[in-house]
Amino acid sequence: MSMTDKYNPPFDPAVFLANAGLGRRIIELKPNQTFFVQGDPSDSVFYLQNGRAKLTVVSHEGKEATITLLSAGDFVGEAALAAVPGLRLSTATAINTCVALKINREEMVRVMHEEHELSDLFMKFLLDRSMRTQADLVDQLFNSSEKRLARILLLMAEFGKPGERETFIPPITQETLAEMIGTTRSRVSFFMNRFRKLGFITYNGRIQVHKSLLNVVLLDQLPEHNSQKPPLVAFP
| CA dihedral over 30, 32, 35, 36, signed as positive or negative | negative
* The pLDDT value given to residue 221: 60
Residues across the chain: 236
List all residues 6 or more positions away from 40 whose beta carbon is below 8 Å from its beta carbon: 87, 88
Segments of the chain with pLDDT less than 50: 1, 4, 225-233
* The pLDDT value given to residue 225: 46
Distance between CA 24 and CA 132 in Å, rounded?
Answer: 28
List all residues 6 or more positions away from 157 whose beta carbon is below 8 Å from its beta carbon: 165, 166, 167, 168, 169, 209
pLDDT tens-digit readout, 135-190: 888 888 888 899 999 988 988 887 756 555 558 888 888 888 888 888 899 999 99
Residue 216, CA distances (Å) to 89, 129, 138, 143, 201 in order: 33, 23, 16, 11, 12
pTM equals: 0.78
Backbone angles phi, psi at 157, to 5 degrees: -80, -5
Ordered by where they begin, the domains of the chain are 3-139 (2.60.120.10), 143-219 (1.10.10.10)
To 5 degrees, how large is the angle CA 68–CA 137–CA 83? 65
DSSP letters along 127-163, please? HHHHHHHHHHHHHHHHS-HHHHHHHHHHHHTTTTSSS
The answer to whether 68 touches 136, Cβ cutoff 8 Å, is yes
| Side-chain-facing half-sphere of 110: CA atoms under 13 Å | 10
* The pLDDT value given to residue 227: 42
Strands 91-94 and 53-58: antiparallel
Distance between CA 70 and CA 96 in Å, rounded?
Answer: 11
* The pLDDT value given to residue 77: 95
User: Residue ranges of the alpha helices (H) in 59-115?
Assistant: 105-114
To 5 degrees, how large is the angle CA 82–CA 98–CA 16? 55
Q: Cα torsion at 27, 32, 33, 37 (round to 10°)?
A: 120
Q: What is the per-residue burial (b if ≥16 Cβ within 10 Å, else e) of 185-220?
A: eebbbbbbbbbbbbebbeeeeebebbeebbebbeee
